[in-house]
Structure 1
Amino acid sequence: MELRQLESFLAVVEEGQFARAASRLFLSPPAVTGHIRQLEREIGMPILQRSPVMLTPAGERLIPHARAIVGAAKAASDAVRDIRTEGPAPLRVGVMAPGSAELTPAVLRAFRQAQPQTRITIESLGFTDYITPLLEHRVDAAFVRPAPDDERIAAEVLTAEPRVIIAPATSELADAEELRLADVLEVDYVRLPDATPRGFMEYAYFATARDGMRPPLGLDQVRTAQDLLNSVASGQGIGATLYSLGRFYRWPGIRCVPVVDAPWEASVLATRRNDPRPEVQAFRALAVMIARDLGPKLVPAPKPPS
């Protein structure tokens, strides 16, 4: 079992397609397919179903161990790289669009002004991979929602917002001024990949209100905010999100409607717990200060649930 095989396995699971996984890894699709077949031969059973891509029971058991091995290898590589790299390492920030609304650019600007010697890089995060990049040391901090349920990650709440439904503009739901959970529990939702972290699935499907059960799902799999908006606009189902995403994205063919009795949810800044880097600690402290002092001015107040 080789590291590159496990990297291909994780990429296919997180991207939901062999072609996307190959693009992410800068490999050809046949190379990724070969890695998966080699893994399956070594294990002695399939780890992925094809068309659509889904984990088998063996794949479900393998995935946490694969992530741990790949994460450990990445951490070791980063440790050695830090020794040979001249100057301070960059601060790598992940953003699941739209982050924490207006607070995200405000925090980035303030940190650049406070620590101009520290280079910042930005990485886009999707619904399936907003926890893994932190644990694999691909990013140092991440603006995400909801708060990751992982003891290895610390999360600072930056915004608390009401929930909205993104509905096709031609649907009956789009005609409503406001909705309640009972109105949206039995409607088709856009589909999240099986590799999506459970916490995000529960958030996206209002799982608490439906006793943990999944709703009816459309065929399209969505991994990013743009995927979500395109899928809803094409009539593949509805999506649930935060107030700020609907405010940031004025997308043709959709309408955002508040769900007034749904519990509010948070956007957070997530970091590895006990990360010793002063730059990470300073970034986290600055984000909390800006959220506390400037948040009410920067983020328009939503209509509270009635």
Structure 2
Amino acid sequence: MELRQLRSLLAVVEEGRFALAARRLYLSPAAVTTHVAQLERELGVVLLERHPVLPTAAGRRLIRHARTMLDAEQVAIDEIADPGRGEDRVLRVGVMAHGSAEITPAIIDVFARARPRVRLSIVGLTFREHVTALLDHRVDVAFVRPAPQDDRLDSEVLTTESRIVVVSANSAIAEAGTVRVADVLDLPYVDLPPGTMPRFADFLYFNGLRNGERPRLAPDVALTPHEVLTSAALGRGAGSSLRSFERYYRWPGTACVPVSDAPAESSVLTVRRDDPNPDVRGFRSIAATLVRSVAEGLSPESVSRKRP
């Protein structure tokens, strides 16, 4: 099995026609056809239905691995093309709260094994560092939510989830089990310190659903999920997050209650726009590959165990 064969297979699947795949790869249609046929002979399975051109079940399984292998090739090219960076390279990874759930450690793990010369520094981010950690060059990539609205940054969606509110376990909201947006707008939400980006406040307080009304604020100021949970356990303030929050923060005296009609929100990987660092490009490439694999039915854990 050769990378050029995998590249031809992917191009055919993505273009839907052998001729278009050949044009994209600057090959003849006969060469692309030969590459796919060679793969099928070597593996002993049919990878593509021809009329119309669609991957078989075996083809879909191979495509997942092909994308990982081709992305790993690009990582290797970047590594070799930049030998002057030396042995002391550091990539600073910012993680707000639990990041993008299970896919966060999977991405970090695959990158660490793909680029063992790069030392990874994991930096916990507060709510106020939603944007500033990147703009101040304190981190190189950041797992945050929601996507920043800043022309100096680029973001890629990693997960999209339903919403929950975090409240006291003794509250009427907790007893309800599931609520609607109208039920949670008047909760006393934890306050945010000066300097917090408005986009994060909009996310926390469901501001897009308030028709311009300001949220009611609790006496407590929060910078981290732990401070939100403490306020909620005391019955003083509430918070909100993505559904995966409940898997990571089981806090005595609190409840995470689904908000059934709230629009879903995304967690993202954010970087500085046009950052020339090849390690940042490699990290983004690995993240994109894992997101595709998860979308195709693989768990983050199973993907991270496969060495790129």
* Residue identity opposite 1:208 in structure 2: G
Q: Which runs of 5+ in 1 are unaligned?
A: 1-83, 301-306
Given that residues 228 and 237 in structure 2 are in contact (C-alpha distance below 8 angstroms), is that contact kept between their aligned partners in structure 1? Answer: no
Partner of 1:130: 130
**SS of match in other structure, 2:104:** helix
Given that residues 101 and 299 in structure 1 are in contact (C-alpha distance below 8 angstroms), is that contact kept between their aligned partners in structure 2? Answer: no
Given that residues 127 and 200 in structure 1 are in contact (C-alpha distance below 8 angstroms), is that contact kept between their aligned partners in structure 2? Answer: yes
* Residue identity opposite 2:161 in structure 1: E
**SS of match in other structure, 1:294:** helix
Distance 1:177 1:134 in 2: 38
What is the identity percentage for the equivalent residue pairs of Structure 1 and Structure 2? Answer: 47
Distance 1:85 1:274 in 2: 18
Structure 1 residue 194, shift from structure 2 partner:
2.7
Render the CA deviation track for 1:269-304: whole Å, top value 9, x for unaligned. Answer: 00001100110001011111101203554379xxxx
**SS of match in other structure, 1:246:** helix
Partner of 1:284: 284
In the TM superposition, what are the counterparts of 1:192-203 in structure 2 within 5 Å? 192-203=192-203
**SS of match in other structure, 1:291:** helix
* Residue identity opposite 1:106 in structure 2: A
Q: Does 1:109 align with 2:93?
A: no
Distance 2:166 2:300 in 1: 20
Output the TM-score relative to the length of structure 1: 0.68
**SS of match in other structure, 2:134:** helix
**SS of match in other structure, 2:128:** coil
Given that residues 177 and 258 in structure 2 are in contact (C-alpha distance below 8 angstroms), is that contact kept between their aligned partners in structure 1? Answer: yes
Given that residues 152 and 272 in structure 2 are in contact (C-alpha distance below 8 angstroms), is that contact kept between their aligned partners in structure 1? Answer: yes
Given that residues 87 and 118 in structure 2 are in contact (C-alpha distance below 8 angstroms), is that contact kept between their aligned partners in structure 1? Answer: no
Which stretch shifts more, 87-96 or 159-168?
87-96
Name the Cα RMSD after superposition.
1.8
Render the CA deviation track for 1:117-173: whole Å, top value 9, x for unaligned. Answer: 111100000001121110111100000100011010100100000000111001100
Which stretch shifts more, 288-297 or 155-164?
288-297
Distance 1:164 1:136 in 2: 31
Distance 2:244 2:264 in 1: 12
Distance 1:240 1:146 in 2: 12
Which of the two has higher C-alpha Rg?
Answer: 2
* Residue identity opposite 1:108 in structure 2: I
Output the TM-score relative to the length of structure 2: 0.68
Partner of 1:64: none
Given that residues 290 and 300 in structure 2 are in contact (C-alpha distance below 8 angstroms), is that contact kept between their aligned partners in structure 1? Answer: no
Structure 1 residue 85, shift from structure 2 partner:
8.6
Distance 1:112 1:182 in 2: 45
Count of residues in Structure 1 that have an aligned counterpart in Structure 2: 217
In the TM superposition, what are the counterparts of 1:203-214 in structure 2 within 5 Å? 203-214=203-214
Partner of 2:238: 238
Structure 1 residue 195, shift from structure 2 partner:
1.7
Structure 1 residue 114, shift from structure 2 partner:
0.6
